[in-house]
Structure 1
Amino acid sequence: MPKELKVTMLGNRGVGKTSVLTAMYEQFSDTFEEADLQLTPDSESSALLQKRLGQLKALLDDFEATGGLEGDQKPQSFKFGLGKIGDKPSLQLTFQDFPGEYIDKDGEFVKKVMHECVAVLIAIDAPALMEANGKWHHLMNRPKQICDFFKISYGDLKEPRLVILVPVRCEKYLQNEEDAKKLRNCIKDKYAELFRLFKSENLLTKIACVITPVQTVGTVIFNNIRVENKKPHFYFRKISHDAGYSPKDSDQPLRYLLSFLLKLHYGTKWGWFNPIRHWLGWDRYLLEAARQSASQCKSSGGFVIIQGEDKLFIGK
């Protein structure tokens, strides 16, 4: 059996966690072909992701859409084998997704998952963050509540962790360098409490944190907000009537994860991760593939390393 590493998706209901995972899966073969890597889901994950992919592409059936996928009603583990093309997997990556309501209703479950996972992906609804002066940001993205989960779960952290903030539905805000800078600065401002926590004496040396925007459709941009019964509904439009499904940068969260693991392999003395150094050493090709992948991590425009560059294999 391949060794397992767990990653969790954290975010409120409807912010785009499932869309991020679906886009990552769909684009993997194209973006990692140069590294001779394949990502193979188990049968249950494959069936569900194929269904989600169909729903994501269906957003392009109409010129205007509400954009996004309905989340699952129960926790769902997406399991992928990572390995050399045509060979048995060397590593199992398990992405733990759970309904956004769990951050309100089952804090113990969320805490347990965060303890078990080497990385946390925080999905951020970009229009809720950026539009109407951020009026809907706290309702949709729950930044303070998410910060509280980290305070609880990482209070006695002993091992290094990677935290990736993933703005989604962000096509409108990445049209040029100036727009990307506004998105980046807005995240730094609205998640300042979380970043202060990560820079605290106990966590500064343990956490690597990055921002990696993902355009989960690529050709659908925010258009307007309509409020019904005091709840916002975000509407999007295609960039043209014949625009097709074309996600962008969905590879970046996984590239950063491989970058983090690669640096742990070569540089860490953390007890829990010592086995990683051992069993990753059995597959030299995987280390070389991770190195090649890490060299393509983006760190400009909307992408930024908040802290912990020394824990990432960037520019090495």
Structure 2
Amino acid sequence: MHELKITMLGPSGVGKTSLLTAMYEQFESNIGKTNLQLTPDLDSSALLQERLAELKTLPDSFETKGWMQNTEDYKSFFFELGKKGAKPSLKLHFQDYPGEYLNSKSPREEKERVENFVNQSAAVIIAIDTPALMEKNGYWHDLINKPQMITNIFQRAYRDIDSPRLVIFAPVRCEKYLQNEQSISELINQIEIGYAKLLDDLKTELLLAKVAVVVTPVQTVGSVLFSRIEMNGNNPLFIFRKTSHDAKYNPKDSEQPLRYLLRFLLKLHLEKKNWGFFNVIRDLFGVDNHLKNAVREFAKGCKNNNGFAVLQGDIWLNID
């Protein structure tokens, strides 16, 4: 089975595993009549089920410790994609790295592992802790989201890339900031400010023609809102609350990163060019029109307003 790599990027505790959980769960709810099936392997399924149970049983008010939580090791999540009832055609390998891998005290081989995987990935999904980006004019953004570290990874990993890539900025825990046009506009503006250096780098002459950049806000719970920041010594505690005592798990737009990913892969197939590891996509869709049509139908659901935006490289997302 052909395998494509996708990197989940962001410091520990930002919400990458919750994003993956909601992405998979909402894919199942949004595929509609398309003939697609996304199946996690046994280990991935067990991890995702644990996180899903946590998301569905949140207390009325809770604190996300975010950057204070440490992930001891990297995690691989494998999903098999194919037609319903048929042998899967493609394996999607999502790699999640703890932010500590890029700290100054971490071994060099850990830093190189992250860079190599980003270099080999069709797409990178950057999970953003949205309250850290938005509250107090982004006062906690550098500490929690570590944008300079993220930028440095791309500076090294995207040297001399020979094929198109997709970069997805995925604000999570963003429910509060999607309430009206003004807050939505401010969210996009703060992303452009908070990741200005990375966005500028991706717009340089050698990368502008190869890299598509999109913003896909993901409400991984949907029924919670950011409430306030409390201080624990010098550390901020981000407090969230449910919209009501009996509010249930209700994620929104969690499948959008996957829609954009499949749209991007379909576009690469339609280009019919020789691009290294993307040749598997050309061969795969070339011999299976039913799969190609199912992917096209699912990819048509990509949103591009109300907080969703293509910042560059729309040529790599145009499948009309």
Per the normalisation by structure 2, the TM-score is 0.94
Map of 1:222 onto structure 2: 226
Map of 2:286 onto structure 1: 281
Map of 2:35 onto structure 1: 36
Q: Residues 252-276 of structure 1: CA distance to partner in whole angstroms, max 9, x if unpaired?
A: 0000000000000001524312342
Is the partner of 2:102 in helix, strand or coil?
Answer: helix
Q: Distance in 1 between matches of 2:242 and 2:130?
A: 17
Q: CA, structure 1 residues 142+173, in 2 after alignment: closer, same or farther (shift >3 Å)?
A: same
Q: CA RMSD in A?
A: 1.4
Letter in 1 for 2:307: G
Q: Residues 1-36 of structure 1: CA distance to partner in whole angstroms, max 9, x if unpaired?
A: x21111010001111111100111111211113212
Map of 2:316 onto structure 1: 311
Map of 1:212 onto structure 2: 216
* 1:63 paired to 2:57: no
Alignment of 1:166-205 (within 5 A): 166-205=170-209
8 Å CA contact 1:12, 1:103 repeated in 2: no
* 1:134 paired to 2:131: no
Q: Distance in 1 between matches of 2:75 and 2:158?
A: 23
Map of 1:301 onto structure 2: 306
Q: Distance in 1 between matches of 2:160 and 2:27?
A: 35
Q: Distance in 2 between matches of 1:64 and 1:71?
A: 22
Letter in 1 for 2:210: K
Map of 1:292 onto structure 2: 297
Letter in 1 for 2:185: K
8 Å CA contact 2:2, 2:280 repeated in 1: no
Q: Distance in 2 between matches of 1:20 and 1:217?
A: 9
* 1:112 paired to 2:116: yes
Map of 2:86 onto structure 1: 87
8 Å CA contact 2:82, 2:291 repeated in 1: yes
Letter in 1 for 2:129: D
8 Å CA contact 1:225, 1:234 repeated in 2: yes
Map of 2:148 onto structure 1: 144
Q: Residues 35-68 of structure 1: CA distance to partner in whole angstroms, max 9, x if unpaired?
A: 1211111111111110111112222xx2101147
Per the normalisation by structure 1, the TM-score is 0.95
CA positional deviation for 1:210: 0.2
Q: CA, structure 1 residues 118+71, in 2 after alignment: closer, same or farther (shift >3 Å)?
A: farther
Structure 1 unaligned regions, length at least 5:
none
Q: Distance in 1 between matches of 2:158 and 2:202?
A: 9
Q: Distance in 2 between matches of 1:151 and 1:66?
A: 34
* 1:247 paired to 2:244: no
* 1:47 paired to 2:46: yes
Higher mean displacement: 206-215 or 29-38: 29-38
Q: CA, structure 1 residues 118+57, in 2 after alignment: closer, same or farther (shift >3 Å)?
A: same
CA positional deviation for 1:207: 0.3
Q: Residues 182-209 of structure 1: CA distance to partner in whole angstroms, max 9, x if unpaired?
A: 1011101111111111110110111001
Q: Distance in 2 between matches of 1:71 and 1:84?
A: 38
CA positional deviation for 1:290: 1.5
Structure 2 unaligned regions, length at least 5:
none
Q: Residues 60-82 of structure 1: CA distance to partner in whole angstroms, max 9, x if unpaired?
A: xx210114786642111111111
8 Å CA contact 1:11, 1:100 repeated in 2: yes
Q: Distance in 1 between matches of 2:64 and 2:224?
A: 8
Alignment of 1:251-266 (within 5 A): 251-266=255-270
Q: Distance in 2 between matches of 1:39 and 1:263?
A: 20
Q: CA, structure 1 residues 109+136, in 2 after alignment: closer, same or farther (shift >3 Å)?
A: same
Q: Distance in 2 between matches of 1:240 and 1:24?
A: 24
Map of 2:165 onto structure 1: 161
